[in-house]
Structure 1
C-alpha cells in the first residue's frame, strides 16, 4: 500500500515534539565513587550516599550551586536574641514524592527518629547544641524531650543549650525529613526503589547494587518546574582510572574524582572540562589507639636526646617514654608529605600537619611543633623513637595499613608503606576492602591498626573537624579519648564571642595533634571532569553539586 503523503506542518510538529521529548528524557551520568552504604538519610556518613541524598531530599535549609545557604523546606527563619532559639516557617503546600502533604509535625517526628539510640545516626554528635540531643541518643531521655517542636502545621522551633551555626547544620542528611510510615512498615527496606518516599528534587527510580542508582524528577517538589534534568544515573566508580576512561568515552558527564596524574597533562587533554578547586577536607591516617602496640600506658625508662624531651617533642613524662605514643609519632615523622603531594596525589593538595584545613573564617589552624623541621631531621627523630619503643632490624614492627578500594588510596598506601620500610625497617601489609566492609571494620576498632581516615567538612566550622575526637562516639575511629580535648571543646561551646570560641577550638586541635592518634598528610582539592554540555557546575569549598542546579544540553 502506498504511504500517504506527510503534511509539512504535521511533520515539523512531530519532529519538534520528538526533539523536546529526547531532551526531556536526557539522563545525566554521574560517577559517584563507591556503592552508597545506605540511603537512610539519618544513617549516611560518607560522600557517596550524601551526593545521592541531596538529590532525593531537602532540609529546612539547603545550599545553592555555589554552596550558599538558601531556603529549602522553610521559606524563612529567624533567631532569638540569645542565639538559642531558632524558628523556621515552612513553605505552603509541601508534599512528599508520593503526593501526601508534608507538615511541621512530620519534620519534628523525623528529628526524633534521627536521635533514637536504635537509629544510631553517626552525625548526631554534630547536634550536641540541640537541647537533650545527647541524652536522647544515649537512651537517657525520651525522644519527646529533644529540643524541637511544631507550634503549628507550618512552624518548627529548635531550642539550643548553646549558640551554634544551626542553619548550616540543617543542610546535613541527618536533618532531612524521613517518611516514617514507610520506616514503620518496611524497616531497613524503606530505602529500596518503589518504597523510598522523599521530598527533594528527585525520587528513587532504580538501584542495581554495585552498578548504578537512578533518580527521576519528583513532580511534587515545590520547585519542580526549575529542575532541568529529568533523570540522573549515579554510577559506582571505585576505580578512578576506569572512571576517567568512561568519561573520555562519553559514558559519564561528571566524574567523582580524577586519578593521580600530572596536572599539566590532564589540562592539555581535557582543557576546561577539568575542574580543580579548594576543598574543605583533610586527609589523614588514623591509628587504633585501643590495641597494642599503639595504645597508651606502656612506659619504658629511656634517656632521650636533650633536644627532644624538654621541648615536648617526644612523649616523655618524668623520664618515662610512652611506648605506644612514641611509636605513633615515629610513624608520623617518617612520612615525607612533600613527596606525597607532589608525586603521588599531584593535584595542588597542600601538605598537612593539622586536622583542620585552612579557609574557615576567623580560625587559625593548629600545627605540630616539628612541621618546620627538615625531612632529614624528622626521619632521624623517627628512628630514635622507633628504637626507644622497642623495635629495630631484629625486631621490626609488623603493621597493617587498611584502605578502601580506590586507585588514589592504593597509590598513597604504597608510597607510605615504602617510607615506613625505608626509614624504620617496618614490615607493612596493605589491606584494601570494599567500602561498606571498610567502614564497618573502621568503626568497630577490632581488627584495624592503621587505616585511611580524614574528614570532609559538612559545614565550614572548625568544630566539625574536631567532634570525632571528643568521647567515644561512632565517628571516633581511633578510640582516642582525652579529658583535655573535651574540656577545651566545652569552653569553645560556652564562649560568648567568635574569637574566644576559635581560640578554644585551636587549643583543642593542638591537644589532638600532640596525641599523634592521627597522622595528617594533606588538605584536599576537589577534582572533577565535567562534560562541556553540563552547565551550572560551580566550585564550592564543600564540593556539593546537587543535580537540581545543573542543566544538560541534548
Structure 2
C-alpha cells in the first residue's frame, strides 16, 4: 500500500491533468525553459551525466530508440529491428529519411562512431559502462582490445548490427539514452574534436543549436531536416541555466519562462495554492544521496565512519521538514516502484535515533576519533534546497561529535570534482535512465565513472555480473537484491530520500505529460495562444 507521502505525490500528479475543452489555437513559438545548470558539452560522449544534460541533448539528438510524451520507448532513427533466436544479436533498420541538420543522411556508421567514442579508453564517456553488455565493450573501454572489435557494425548505410555478450531485456531502453546518440561522422572526419563547437555542430534531433551564451542561455531552432519535422509545433527552444531555483520561480511568475525544471521544495504549498495546475509534482525514479569518498587517505574509507555517518541522519526530518513531505526517506538505494524489484534496506536504520547516535559515537571512537573530532568537508552544488539539507546534516553529525565544513560550487564545477574524486563527501543524485534496478546499482560497480565514491567490492561486482547473465526475471531480481544488500551493508553511500519531479509548466504549454523518468522531449510540446 502506498505511503501517505507517496499518495500525496500521486494526488498532486493527478490533479495536474489539464482540461482542454474550447482551448485557444496553438501557435508556433519558441519555448523558454529554465534548466538546473549548464550542459558540460553538446557532444553526447562529453556530458557529465546531469538532468540538464538530458534536457538539452535529448532535444538535439535522436537515437535508435526514443521516448514518447509518456516516457514510453518507441522507434527513433530505427524504423524497426530484429532479434536473433538466442537474443544476442539485434539488427536495426534505419529510416531513410533520417537527416542531420545540415541535410546529410544519418548512416549506420554514425552509430558505430558514437559507440566507439563513448568507449574510447583515452577519454571514455561517464556513461561508458551502460554499454558493457555489448560484445567487447568493457574490454575496449579498458584498452584491452581495439575499439574496432566491439560488437557494433554497419552492415550497410541503413542497417546496424549490435552483438551482445548475453541477452538483455532492456537494450532498447539503453539505446534511448543520450550517450547512444549518433555522431556526425562526416563532420568529425573534417573537423575532429571541433565538430561540436557551436559554430560547426550539426545534430539529428527535432532541434539544432543556434547560439550559446555561456551561463546565460542556449538557443536551439527547429531542425527542418528532422524526419518528423511536420509534427513539431515549436519554432525553437531557449534553455536558461538557473542554478538558483527561486530565481527561476520568480521569472516564471513574471512570464519570462514557460517551463521551469525545478523549484524550491519549501515553496510547494504556496506555489500549489497560487499557481494551481501549473505546479507539476509527480513520482520519479530518482534518489538523492551523498557520495562517500572511499579512496586511500579519506576518513570515509573506513567502513565504521561510513556507518556512523549514516546512522546519525534523521531522514524523516529531512523529508518532512525541509522537503515538505513531498519525498520519501531513503533507507536503500534503488527507489520504490522500479519494475519487478523489491529493494533491500540499510542495516541499523530501523533503531530509534538515540540508539543510532550512541552506536555512531562508539564507531567513531573505535575508528580513532575519540581524542580529536572527525572533521569532514561536505560539497554540494549551490541552491537553497541543497544548502538547507547540508546544514541539517551537519547539525545531525555534530550530535555525534563530527565537525563539518560546507563547500559549495556551481553545478558544472561540483560534478566535475565528483567525477575526479576531488571531494570528501559530495551531494549527488541519480535519475533512472531506464526502469531497472541495474541502472541504479550499476553506478556502484568498480570502474563506473558515476561511482563517485570509488566503492569497490568483488562480491558486489560478481553479483551484478551474475544478474546480467540471468534471464529468469525472479532469479535476476533476487540477485540484484543481494547486490544492493551487500552495498548497503558496506555503507557504500549515504542515501537521503527518493525524489519526486517538480516542474512549473505554464498554462499555454500543451502536450506535457508527467512520467517516472521525468523526461519531456520538446518535440511533443506546443504553445497555445493566450
Superposition TM-score, scaled by structure 2 size: 0.92
Q: CA deviation at 1:254?
A: 0.7
Matched, 1:424 2:428: no
Asked if the contact 2:207–2:221 (Cα under 8 Å) also holds between the matched residues in 1, the reply is yes
Matches within 5 A, 1:162-311: 162-164=166-168, 165-261=170-266, 263-294=268-299, 296=301
Matched, 1:414 2:391: yes
Q: CA deviation at 1:377?
A: 2.1
Q: From 448, 469, 478, give the equivalent of 1:473.
A: 448
Q: CA deviation at 1:83?
A: 1.6
Q: Which residue of 1 aligns with 2:55?
A: 51
Instruction: Report the secondary structure of 2:299's partner residue.
Output: coil
Q: Partners of 1:374 and 1:267 in 2: how far apart? A: 34
Stretches of structure 2 lacking an aligned partner (at least 5 in a row): 1-23
Q: CA deviation at 1:180?
A: 2.6
Residue deviations 1:5-36 (CA, integer Å, cap 9, x gap): xxxxxxxxxxxxxx99x943x22110111111
Q: CA deviation at 1:142?
A: 1.5
Q: Partners of 1:335 and 1:379 in 2: how far apart? A: 9
Instruction: Report the secondary structure of 1:453's partner residue.
Output: strand
Moved over 4 A (4+): none
Asked if the contact 2:346–2:491 (Cα under 8 Å) also holds between the matched residues in 1, the reply is no
Q: Which residue of 2 aligns with 1:31?
A: 34
Residue deviations 1:122-176 (CA, integer Å, cap 9, x gap): 1110111100001112222112211112222221111001122100000111110
Structure with the greater relative contact order (CA < 8 A, sep ≥ 6): 1 or 2? Answer: 2
Distance 1:118 1:277, change over 3 A: same
Distance 1:432 1:188, change over 3 A: farther
Matched, 1:131 2:141: no
Asked if the contact 1:347–1:525 (Cα under 8 Å) also holds between the matched residues in 2, the reply is no
Q: Partners of 1:499 and 1:78 in 2: how far apart? A: 26
Q: From 140, 161, 173, give the equivalent of 1:157.
A: 161
Q: Partners of 2:426 and 2:312 in 1: how far apart? A: 16
Superposition TM-score, scaled by structure 1 size: 0.88
Stretches of structure 1 lacking an aligned partner (at least 5 in a row): 1-18, 297-323
Q: Partners of 2:265 and 2:438 in 1: how far apart? A: 30
Residue deviations 1:309-350 (CA, integer Å, cap 9, x gap): xxxxxxxxxxxxxxx211111111111100001111225210
Q: CA deviation at 1:293?
A: 4.8
Q: Partners of 2:160 and 2:447 in 1: how far apart? A: 31
Q: From 377, 380, 399, give the equivalent of 1:400.
A: 377
Instruction: Report the secondary structure of 2:276's partner residue.
Output: helix
Residue deviations 1:226-276 (CA, integer Å, cap 9, x gap): 000101000010001111111111111111101021533221111010000
Q: CA deviation at 1:372?
A: 2.1
Asked if the contact 1:363–1:502 (Cα under 8 Å) also holds between the matched residues in 2, the reply is yes
Asked if the contact 1:536–1:549 (Cα under 8 Å) also holds between the matched residues in 2, the reply is yes
Q: Partners of 2:183 and 2:205 in 1: how far apart? A: 11
Q: Partners of 1:386 and 1:485 in 2: how far apart? A: 26
Q: CA deviation at 1:486?
A: 1.0
Q: Which residue of 1 aligns with 2:111?
A: 107
Q: CA deviation at 1:190?
A: 2.4
Asked if the contact 2:118–2:127 (Cα under 8 Å) also holds between the matched residues in 1, the reply is no
Residue deviations 1:475-533 (CA, integer Å, cap 9, x gap): 22111111010111111112131111111111111111111120111001000010000
Q: CA deviation at 1:106?
A: 2.8
Q: Partners of 1:243 and 1:109 in 2: how far apart? A: 38
Q: Partners of 2:286 and 2:156 in 1: how far apart? A: 39
Matched, 1:509 2:484: yes
Q: Partners of 1:549 and 1:295 in 2: how far apart? A: 45
- Alpha-carbon RMSD across the aligned residues, in angstroms, is 1.7
Matched, 1:544 2:522: no
Q: CA deviation at 1:391?
A: 2.0
Q: CA deviation at 1:110?
A: 2.8
- Larger deviation: 183-192 or 430-439? 183-192
Asked if the contact 2:300–2:306 (Cα under 8 Å) also holds between the matched residues in 1, the reply is no
Asked if the contact 1:192–1:207 (Cα under 8 Å) also holds between the matched residues in 2, the reply is no
Q: Partners of 1:195 and 1:214 in 2: how far apart? A: 14
Q: Partners of 1:442 and 1:453 in 2: how far apart? A: 9
Q: Partners of 1:399 and 1:344 in 2: how far apart? A: 22
Q: CA deviation at 1:285?
A: 0.6
Asked if the contact 2:252–2:258 (Cα under 8 Å) also holds between the matched residues in 1, the reply is yes
Q: CA deviation at 1:295?
A: 5.1
Q: From 324, 328, 346, give the equivalent of 2:324.
A: 346
- Larger deviation: 114-123 or 177-186? 177-186
Residue deviations 1:414-440 (CA, integer Å, cap 9, x gap): 11111111x112211100012222122
The number of equivalent residue pairs is 504
Matches within 5 A, 1:512-523: 512-523=487-498
Distance 1:110 1:390, change over 3 A: closer
Q: Partners of 1:143 and 1:188 in 2: how far apart? A: 18
Q: Which residue of 1 aligns with 2:145?
A: 141
Higher Rg: 1
Residue deviations 1:35-90 (CA, integer Å, cap 9, x gap): 11111112222111111111110001000010001110011123222221112111
Residue deviations 1:430-463 (CA, integer Å, cap 9, x gap): 0001222212211222x41111123111111111
